[in-house]
Amino acid sequence: MKSIALRLMSGFLVIIVIISAVFSYVGIRFIENRVMAEAQNRVSESLMASTQIYGSELRSIQQVVRLTADRIFLKDALRSGQVGRAGAVLKDVLRQEQLDELVVTNAEGRVLLRPANPTRVGDNRANDPLLQAVRERREAVAATAVVQRSELLREAPELAARTYADTGRPADTPDRMMLVAAAPVPDGGNRVLGMVYGGVLLDGRNDFVDRIKQGVFQDALYQGKSVGASTLFLHDVRIATTVLNADGTRALGTRIGAEIYQRVVLDGRPWVAPTFAVSDWYLAAYAPLKSIGGERIGMLGAGLLEAPYLDLKRRSTLMFLAITLAGTALTIGLSYVISQRFSVPLRTLVAASQRLARGDLAAKVPTPAVTEFAELAQGFNAMADALRARDEKLREFTRRKIMESERLAVIGQLAAGVAHELNNPLQGIVAYSHLLREKEGERGGNGSKAWVEKIVTQADRCATIVRGLLDFARPRTPVTKPTAVKALVEGCVALVEDQALFHNIEVVRQFGADVPEVVVDPSLMQQVFMNLIINAAEAMPDGGRLLLTTRVDPAEKMVEVEVSDTGHGIARADLDRIFDPFFTTKAVGHGTGLGLAISFGIVKEHHGTISVESEVGKGTTFSVRLPLRDRVEG
């Protein structure tokens, strides 16, 4: 058995748990998606910014080369055919502008001047796509380019040697990557005197990527690590990067995953995804770098350390869970209050009905706010009121009954006393009246015989009344023995059957078979049945039918004797009083009103019951129920 509060609470709990679970799941997924979308946005923007910075670097080299090509002394030197004269100035330019390569060619692309290595000239660069573009467009161009180590060797051996701490590629691998620009040296007219070609070697240029990173991410740190990373790739190899190895050195020469290389460089599609780079997870984005001919030769990468976002995600999730939990706790608290609102009135009602059951009729319940409970409480209070009213009536009735029976008891005692006192003189009167009658009879009578006869009758009658009274008053212990009720009833019938009273009465017997013997005082019980039979006959002055029934009721372990008549019946108002002593409806001098009172006492003494059912004009049935032997106690 569960209390209503418990049921309500568990119902609420199930709902709350389901709602919070769904809510938490949706909320956490939402936070995850938001944070990751935000991070992806951020990394895409970073890559865009990096590309812009890269482009501006490219433009600044283009600018330098263009301005150099425009200088008068270079035109003069080219016109005069003595290009070597420009060597000293161009060497200064090389140093000041921090270029790694600077050459001057003739209009066809043959190298005329190499300020960094003046003896190595004369090589033909006509096939260089950048110079071809200059010749075609007659203007300055710039691009990222893959350059051969052999070309760098011509410029300066230390340049060719400058590479990075290599992990997989041999140091003399031919490919290097440069930012290159070239510009025509115009004659003033339509003729081109020559071309200037300059470039910056990107391999190992960590300061270059540092600048990009600085421009994009500033100095933001997370747990001592920079939140952003910037890397230049030649093909799939990191040639300049801000990503560090575990020992703190730059992760140069390491390769990117084949999948990313395939996608970005070979397929030319963008990539934004969580990527493991060297020792940390980054959310990384890559954009391909193209040569002047449109060929994808490498990538520019921007990475955002994933950890701060995971951290943010974790903290947001925790915060969200904490709020959900607090909400859940609050809801549970509220549902407790609500369930109490329902269960408290019910508990009060239960307690009140228990008090009522224990007899405290003053038990009342307060009226709660909920309509149905209020109705219940009002119903209960009305019931308690009704019970109290009935209880008071019953008390009053009992009090009256007790007073009445006390009065009757006193009358009974008085009557018994009077009867006792009257008995002796009455015996004298009876004896002498009988003697007088005999004497009168002997003397032959002179007219006073009828009077004497009257005296005898009346005296006998007085004696009968007094005997009845004495019987009623005298406490008599029954002398019991096993007796067949059928025989008792038959004995009674035999005694009265021939009397005038019974002349017009048909006596019907319905004696049940197997009715066991009962343990009774036979003479007392005979008195009872006799009384009932005579009463029945007296109720049928014009004749009728007297039905005598005996039966056994095994369930109740009782033997039942019914005396039923078709007489005038008993008025409803009299039914309550027929067992009272001296209650009689018979004419004065015809009934004492003691018959049923005495019978009631006798049956009660035998632990039995006597009851009556009657309908005026139809007849009356008296039932005497006597317990079977094993029910008789004491």
Ligand X SMILES: Nc1ncnc2c1ncn2[C@@H]1O[C@H](COP(=O)(O)OP(=O)(O)OP(=O)(O)O)[C@@H](O)[C@H]1O
Residues that bind ligand X (CB under 6 A): 531, 535-536, 539, 565, 567-570, 578, 583-586, 591-597, 620
583 binds, among ligand X, Mg ion, none (CB under 5 to 8 A by kind): ligand X
Q: How far is CA 357 from CA 281, 349, 395, in A?
A: 76, 12, 18
578 binds, among Mg ion, ligand X, none (CB under 5 to 8 A by kind): ligand X
Count of CA atoms in the C-beta half-sphere (13 A) of 230: 23
Question: Considering beta carbons, is residue 536 or 626 the nearer one to ligand X?
Answer: 536
* Cβ atoms of residues 545 and 565 within 8 Å: yes
203 binds, among ligand X, Mg ion, none (CB under 5 to 8 A by kind): none
In angstroms, give the least distance from the CB of 433 to ligand X.
22
592 binds, among ligand X, Mg ion, none (CB under 5 to 8 A by kind): ligand X
518 binds, among ligand X, Mg ion, none (CB under 5 to 8 A by kind): none
Q: How far is CA 111 from CA 4, 114, 119, 125, 281, in A?
A: 100, 7, 11, 7, 47
160 token code pair: 């060719």
Question: Considering beta carbons, is residue 217 or 529 the nearer one to Mg ion?
Answer: 529
Give the CB-nearest residue to ligand X.
595
**Partner residues linked to 609 by β-bridges:** 625
What is the contact surface with Mg ion in residues (CB under 5 A)? Answer: 535, 595
* Cβ atoms of residues 565 and 539 within 8 Å: yes
Question: Considering beta carbons, is residue 53 or 533 the nearer one to Mg ion?
Answer: 533
Question: Considering beta carbons, is residue 535 or 550 the nearer one to Mg ion?
Answer: 535
Question: Considering beta carbons, is residue 448 or 464 the nearer one to ligand X?
Answer: 464
In angstroms, give the least distance from the CB of 584 to Mg ion.
8
* Cβ atoms of residues 291 and 129 within 8 Å: yes
Question: Considering beta carbons, is residue 28 or 465 the nearer one to ligand X?
Answer: 465
Question: Considering beta carbons, is residue 194 or 595 the nearer one to Mg ion?
Answer: 595
Question: Considering beta carbons, is residue 302 or 563 the nearer one to ligand X?
Answer: 563
109 binds, among ligand X, Mg ion, none (CB under 5 to 8 A by kind): none
620 binds, among Mg ion, ligand X, none (CB under 5 to 8 A by kind): ligand X
The closest alpha carbon to 230, from 49, 499, 385, 488, belongs to: 49
339 binds, among Mg ion, ligand X, none (CB under 5 to 8 A by kind): none
Q: What whole-number distance in Å separates Cα of residue 427 and Cα of residue 332?
A: 96
489 binds, among ligand X, Mg ion, none (CB under 5 to 8 A by kind): none
* Cβ atoms of residues 255 and 265 within 8 Å: no
Question: Reduced to 3 DSSP states, what percent helix, strand and coil does the chain have, rounded to the nearest 5?
Answer: 50, 20, 25
* Cβ atoms of residues 515 and 550 within 8 Å: yes
The closest alpha carbon to 476, from 593, 295, 575, 606, belongs to: 606
Q: What whole-number distance in Å separates Cα of residue 283 and Cα of residue 264?
A: 15
* Cβ atoms of residues 212 and 53 within 8 Å: yes
* Cβ atoms of residues 197 and 223 within 8 Å: no
Dihedral through CA 161, CA 165, CA 171, CA 176, nearest 10?
A: -70
In angstroms, give the least distance from the CB of 561 to ligand X.
14
In angstroms, give the least distance from the CB of 537 to Mg ion.
10
In angstroms, give the least distance from the CB of 571 to ligand X.
9
Q: Which residues have C-beta within 8 Å of that of residue 323, sequence separation ≥ 6?
A: none
In angstroms, give the least distance from the CB of 510 to ligand X.
17
Tell me the backbone φ, ψ of residue 155, rounded to 5 degrees.
Answer: -70, -55
In angstroms, give the least distance from the CB of 486 to ligand X.
21
The closest alpha carbon to 308, from 38, 579, 599, belongs to: 38
- For the chain, the residue count is 634
- Strand locations in 434-486, DSSP E? 481-483
In angstroms, give the least distance from the CB of 428 to ligand X.
24
Question: Considering beta carbons, is residue 275 or 535 the nearer one to Mg ion?
Answer: 535
Q: How far is CA 603 from CA 169, 199, 577, 597, in A?
A: 128, 139, 17, 10
Q: What whole-number distance in Å separates Cα of residue 341 and Cα of residue 464?
A: 76
204 token code pair: 């190992």
H-state helical runs in 262-370: 306-357
Question: Considering beta carbons, is residue 555 or 588 the nearer one to ligand X?
Answer: 588
Give the CB-nearest residue to Mg ion.
595
570 binds, among Mg ion, ligand X, none (CB under 5 to 8 A by kind): ligand X
In angstroms, give the least distance from the CB of 473 to Mg ion.
17
Question: Considering beta carbons, is residue 567 or 595 the nearer one to Mg ion?
Answer: 595
634 token code pair: 């004491």
In angstroms, give the least distance from the CB of 569 to ligand X.
6
In angstroms, give the least distance from the CB of 537 to ligand X.
8
600 binds, among Mg ion, ligand X, none (CB under 5 to 8 A by kind): none
In angstroms, give the least distance from the CB of 570 to ligand X.
5
536 binds, among Mg ion, ligand X, none (CB under 5 to 8 A by kind): ligand X
Question: Considering beta carbons, is residue 143 or 530 the nearer one to Mg ion?
Answer: 530
